[in-house]
């Protein structure tokens, strides 16, 4: 039948029922499986939150120990993946590399998962969860010309990841506990956000019964863009540019307000949060703490503070309910923690992975239909073919 409604960007369309993440954009509430993000960020850790999101309940001690042990068993990737990585130029952006390598994993686990088998589902989930940090660290090491290595399975998730990234051939990297704690918190804050662009991409790709790894690879590509996960890199580049330009941010605020200028304030605004982004509030405090703990005086943080204070008082931003979002401060912390700028969005991908997995799993277990939006056709009406000579 004919379609009469259109909802560009799905601003008012629910694509599914979901029991994973609750988000109230007016009140600034975010909960994973009923637990507030504030409480999880304070009391839990990323692996536990991942389990909660994916399987629906906080793990018991035994369940958590088993999950961790199973992850450890899957933390190697096929050696041939290194050959694929070798084919990329050093200048390749790690998000492109990560998406490609994740897709390449399908070649080494070609059997399609029987979603009615809890064992097969669990196996696929643990595989991708264990291997993505390895691929992410390799994407970075390739760019740096460092040898590719595996981590140390006796370490926790974040510490192990940092070691995989930063160990040098003759020097073992010893991360500061402040850095580990801050990164763990950031991963928790990014772990799910209901039907955002990349998660919807994972669900739509998976709804055709494409496999988990292929669907996650599609999600990584969607996350890369500047309006979504790529905003964290874009924010720090914007703040750096303002610094180079003498620190005057008023000009940039004016540019963002100018409707003839495509420039937007990166890290401002959100599709759903219209009051504040609860994640941004937690991250802002964490950024201040981390910089103080590490004794870093970052002029970029002063610019961020000043810019957000002025923008929040400005009628343009006020009337449109534009507030700093999660990405406004995350880049400042990542930089203070020594994460290289092109890896910022990769950190987001690692954080979002459990959310993607949980949403894919829920979609498949609920036997959702294939995602296939309709359209309103606005092209030419039927016309006769014109021969080349007569065009
Ligand atoms: N700077 C200046 N104006 C803006 C901005 C901004 N950052 N964001 C929105 N606006 C204006 C927009 O021009 C529009 O104005 P008008 O009504 O006069 O046409 C109004 O605010 C509503 O914006 P919209 O584009 O209709 O809102 P949206 O829900 O489609 O877009 C957004 C949401 C996040 C893509 C957008 O706010 C944006 O581009 N922000 C900058 C990029 C960014 O920080 N992204 C990270 C989002 S949070 C984490 C994540 O999802 O990855």
Give yes or no: residues 359 and 288 share one domain.
Answer: no
Residue 151 Cα, ligand 1 centroid: separation in angstroms?
39
Does 308 map to a domain?
yes
Does 384 map to a domain?
no
**pLDDT at position 1, please?**
60
**pLDDT at position 87, please?**
95
Range of the domain at 319: 231-336
Does 179 map to a domain?
yes
Residue 270 Cα, ligand 1 centroid: separation in angstroms?
6
DSSP code per residue over 308-364:
HHHHHHSHHHHHTT--B-HHHHHHHHHHHTT--GGGHHHHHHHHHHHHHHHHHHHHH
Q: Is the C-beta atom of 165 inside 6 A of ligand 1?
A: no
**pLDDT at position 190, please?**
97
Alpha-carbon distance 127 to 124, whole Å?
A: 5
**pLDDT at position 353, please?**
98
- Taking Cα atoms as reference points, which of 287, 299, 302, 284 lies closest to residue 336? 287
Question: Quick one: DSSP state of residue 36?
Answer: E
Active site includes 93? no
Give yes or no: residues 345 and 320 share one domain.
Answer: no
Give yes or no: residues 216 and 271 share one domain.
Answer: no
Considering only CA atoms, which residue is closest to atom 27 of ligand 1? 271
Does 266 map to a domain?
yes
**pLDDT at position 347, please?**
97
**pLDDT at position 3, please?**
79
Q: Is the C-beta atom of 267 inside 6 A of ligand 1?
A: yes
CATH number of the structural domain spanning residue 52: 1.10.580.10
Considering only CA atoms, which residue is closest to atom 19 of ligand 1? 259
Give yes or no: residues 166 and 270 share one domain.
Answer: no
Q: Is the C-beta atom of 325 inside 6 A of ligand 1?
A: yes
CATH number of the structural domain spanning residue 243: 1.10.230.10
Does 31 map to a domain?
yes
What are the pLDDT digits (tens) for 91-109? 999 999 999 999 999 998 8
Q: Is the C-beta atom of 227 inside 6 A of ligand 1?
A: yes
Number of other CB atoms surrounding residue 370 within 10 Å: 9
Alpha-carbon distance 23 to 21, whole Å?
A: 6
Alpha-carbon distance 333 to 286, whole Å?
A: 8
Give yes or no: residues 272 and 322 share one domain.
Answer: yes
Give yes or no: residues 56 and 152 share one domain.
Answer: yes
Question: Which regions in the chain score pLDDT beneath 50?
Answer: none
Q: Is the C-beta atom of 268 inside 6 A of ligand 1?
A: yes
Q: Is the C-beta atom of 231 inside 6 A of ligand 1?
A: yes
List 167, 190, 270, 277, catalytic entry: 270
ipTM computed for the complex: 0.97
**Closest approach atom of ligand 1 to CA 272:** 29
Give yes or no: residues 155 and 33 share one domain.
Answer: yes
Give yes or no: residues 177 and 278 share one domain.
Answer: no
Backbone CA torsion sign across 361, 366, 367, 370: negative
Residue 287 Cα, ligand 1 centroid: separation in angstroms?
23
Give yes or no: residues 318 and 345 share one domain.
Answer: no
**Closest approach atom of ligand 1 to CA 197:** 51
Give yes or no: residues 219 and 283 share one domain.
Answer: no
Active site includes 327? yes
Does 26 map to a domain?
yes
End-of-domain residue from the set 336, 352, 381: 336
Give yes or no: residues 76 and 177 share one domain.
Answer: yes
Q: Is the C-beta atom of 307 inside 6 A of ligand 1?
A: no
Does 377 map to a domain?
no
Give yes or no: residues 151 and 240 share one domain.
Answer: no
Residue 324 Cα, ligand 1 centroid: separation in angstroms?
11
Q: Is the C-beta atom of 23 inside 6 A of ligand 1?
A: no
Alpha-carbon distance 285 to 227, whole Å?
A: 24
How many domains does the chain contain in total?
Answer: 2
Maximum alpha-carbon separation in the chain: 76
Alpha-carbon distance 31 to 318, whole Å?
A: 26
Q: Is the C-beta atom of 269 inside 6 A of ligand 1?
A: yes
Among 269, 315, 325, name the best residue to mutate to test ligand 1's pocket (greatest count of ligand atoms within 8 A of Cβ): 269
The model's pTM: 0.96
Does 4 map to a domain?
no
**Closest approach atom of ligand 1 to CA 235:** 44
């Amino acid at each position: 039948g004919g379609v009469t409604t259109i909802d560009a960007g799905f601003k008012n369309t629910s694509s599914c029922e979901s029991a994973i993440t609750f988000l109230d954009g007016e009140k600034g509430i975010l909960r994973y499986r009923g637990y507030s993000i504030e409480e999880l960020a304070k009391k839990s850790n990323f692996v536990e939150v991942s389990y909660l999101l994916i399987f629906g309940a906080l793990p018991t001690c035994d369940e958590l120990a088993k999950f961790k042990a199973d992850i450890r068993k899957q933390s190697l990737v096929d050696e041939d993946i290194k050959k694929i990585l070798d084919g990329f130029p050093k200048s390749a952006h790690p998000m492109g590399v990560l998406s490609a390598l994740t897709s390449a994993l399908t070649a080494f686990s070609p059997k399609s998962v029987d979603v009615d088998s809890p064992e097969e589902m669990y196996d696929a989930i643990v595989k991708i969860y264990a291997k993505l940090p390895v691929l992410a660290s390799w994407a970075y090491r390739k760019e740096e010309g460092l040898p590719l290595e595996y981590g140390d399975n006796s370490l926790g998730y974040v510490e192990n990841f940092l070691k995989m990234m930063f160990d040098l051939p003759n020097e073992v990297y010893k991360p500061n506990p402040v850095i580990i704690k801050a990164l763990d918190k950031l991963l928790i804050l990014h772990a799910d956000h209901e039907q955002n662009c990349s998660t919807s991409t994972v669900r739509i790709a998976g709804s055709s019964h494409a496999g988990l790894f292929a669907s996650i690879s599609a999600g990584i590509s969607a996350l890369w863009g500047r309006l979504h996960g790529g905003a964290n890199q874009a924010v720090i580049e914007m703040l750096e540019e303002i610094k180079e330009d003498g620190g005057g941010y008023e000009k940039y605020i004016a540019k963002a307000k100018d409707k003839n200028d495509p420039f937007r304030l990166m890290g401002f605004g959100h599709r759903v949060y219209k009051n504040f982004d609860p994640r941004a509030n937690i991250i802002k405090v964490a950024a201040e703490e981390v910089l103080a703990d590490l004794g870093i005086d970052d002029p970029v943080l002063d610019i961020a503070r000043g810019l957000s204070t002025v923008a929040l008082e400005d009628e343009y931003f006020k009337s449109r309910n534009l507030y700093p979002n999660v990405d406004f401060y995350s880049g400042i912390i990542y930089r203070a923690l020594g994460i290289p700028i092109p890896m910022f969005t990769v950190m987001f991908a690692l954080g979002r992975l459990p959310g993607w997995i949980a949403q894919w799993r829920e979609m498949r277990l609920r036997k959702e239909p294939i995602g296939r939006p309709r359209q309103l056709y606005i092209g030419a009406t039927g016309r006769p073919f014109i021969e080349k000579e007569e065009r």
